[in-house]
Amino acid sequence: MVTIKDVARLAGVSISTVSRVINDSKPVSKEVREKVVEVIKETGYRPNDVARSLVTRRSYLIGVIVNDLSSSYVAEMVKGVEEIGKMYDFDILLCSSYYDKDAQLKYLRLLDRKQAEGLILIGYKYDKEIIESVKELNKPTIFFTRDLIDDTLKYVRIDSKSAMYEMTNYVIKNGHKNLLYISDYIDKSTYENEKIQGFKDAANDNEIVKYEIIEVEGRKYKEGYKFGEKLSGRDFDYTAVVCTNDDIAYGIMNALFDNDIKVPEDVSVVGYGGYKEGKIIRPSLTTISEPYYDIGAVAIRNLIKEIEGEEEVENKIDLPFTLIKRDSLNNIKK
């Protein structure tokens, strides 16, 4: 391994000079610079960022803790984080905790020891202990989570109340008067509460609309499917099912399909999230698209701003959603 010392010796200059040409930090005479550059080329010298980090106290590392990278929306967010991070010469240290609090704590410590300059936490909800640890670290941190329990933290988020309001309204405009809302956890996360509120508001704004809210245990495809089977087995007069997320919607749609109930002819189903599968599944899913890539991108952009001390950064950043109109919702207006 060739070091700055070797280059200096071979070029017949001091290491200070070599440092100057590498970093372009101070004037160096043309001849000397050329000589140094030549030696660097010949030797294939590459500066050691670890040593550099030690003295500059900059790591250009940002720690990202996720629960599960195999959720497509998480991967999409991480992609946004990574790509925009690289634009500003920051690198991503990836940690996946698989919903385990102890793992999250461990990674927090790890990221601190590795001198990460900022943190991005992407997860369903965070324990108070995690929040405390994050605060202790005293590093720029941005959360993306479904449960906003601390107002002093920085979040990137979607206005899910408005989103669900708009979706519900769209369903009603399509002639639906008897709605079923499928929730994952009622009253256990701020995000879900907001969605339910948006749903209720839209329903209540229209007096002839009846609705019911049912909680399923979990928020994955499997639980959606299970509920869909239950629903198939009994008489119901809902004309539309509004799901709190796409995974549940897929599950319900498939269970209905497998039980010969036609979507959207017999009953409409809409989702929330805008996962990739929504356009592949048949009928394609009407849903709210959350801009996951952008969420990641905006999160890291703001984090870097804060790291660089550029300016005061917003604590809460709201990103726009999109209503994606596809085929799983029937227009039943006569």
Partner DNA sequence: TTGAAAGCGCTACCAA
Partner DNA sequence: TTGGTAGCGCTTTCAA
Three-state SS sequence of 165-202:
HHHHHHHHHCCCCEEEEEECCCCCCHHHHHHHHHHHHH
Give the binding site for DNA (CB under 7 A).
1, 3-5, 12-17, 19-20, 22-23, 25-29, 31-33, 46-48, 51-52, 54-57
Other CB atoms within 10 A of residue 6 CB:
15
Closer residue to DNA (CB): 48 or 204: 48
Cis peptide before 283 (omega within 30 of 0): yes
DSSP state of 276: G
| The Cα angle at residue 202 between residues 200 and 125, in degrees rounded to 5 | 50
From the list DNA, its own copies, none, partner contacted by residue 221 (C-beta under 5 to 8 A by kind):
its own copies
CB of 15 vs DNA, minimal distance in Å = 5
Q: From start to end of 56-110, where are the E strands?
A: 61-66, 91-96
Closer residue to DNA (CB): 26 or 210: 26
**Span 240-279, contacts to its own copies by CB under 8 A:** 250, 254, 257-258, 276-277
Backbone angles phi, psi at 149, to 5 degrees: -95, -5
114 binds its own copies (CB under 8 A): yes
115 binds its own copies (CB under 8 A): yes
From the list its own copies, DNA, none, partner contacted by residue 4 (C-beta under 5 to 8 A by kind):
DNA
Rounded Cα distance, 185 and 217, in Å:
7
Q: Are 216 and 276 in contact (CB under 8 A)?
A: no
CB of 83 vs its own copies, minimal distance in Å = 6
Structure tokens at 59: 């790591």
Give the amino acid at 274. Answer: G
214 binds its own copies (CB under 8 A): no
281 binds its own copies (CB under 8 A): yes
Closer residue to DNA (CB): 55 or 208: 55
Q: Given candidates 2, 6, 33, 112, which one binds its own copies under the rule CB under 8 A?
A: 112
Q: Which residues pair with 211 in a beta bridge?
A: 179
CB of 3 vs DNA, minimal distance in Å = 3
Q: Are 215 and 183 in contact (CB under 8 A)?
A: yes
Convert residues 57-96 into a mask of x (bound to its own copies by CB under 8 A) and - (unbound): --x--------xxx-x-xxx-xx--xx--x----xxxxxx
From the list DNA, its own copies, none, partner contacted by residue 136 (C-beta under 5 to 8 A by kind):
its own copies
Q: Given candidates 14, 98, 210, 308, which one binds its own copies under the rule CB under 8 A?
A: 98
Q: Are 24 and 47 in contact (CB under 8 A)?
A: no
CB of 67 vs its own copies, minimal distance in Å = 11
From the list DNA, its own copies, none, partner contacted by residue 87 (C-beta under 5 to 8 A by kind):
none
Closer residue to its own copies (CB): 88 or 293: 293
Using N-to-C axis directions, what is the helix angle for 72-87 and 292-307, rounded to 10°? 40
Q: Are 295 and 320 in contact (CB under 8 A)?
A: no
Other CB atoms within 10 A of residue 30 CB:
7
Give the amino acid at 226. Answer: K
Closer residue to its own copies (CB): 48 or 315: 48
Closer residue to DNA (CB): 20 or 301: 20
Q: Are 117 and 61 in contact (CB under 8 A)?
A: yes
| Residues touching its own copies, count (CB under 8 A) | 47
Q: Given candidates 2, 15, 105, 110, which one binds its own copies under the rule CB under 8 A?
A: 110
Other CB atoms within 10 A of residue 95 CB:
20
Binding site for its own copies (CB under 8 A): 44, 46-51, 53-54, 59, 68-70, 72, 74-76, 78-79, 82-83, 86, 91-96, 98, 109-110, 112-115, 136, 221, 250, 254, 257-258, 276-277, 280-282, 293
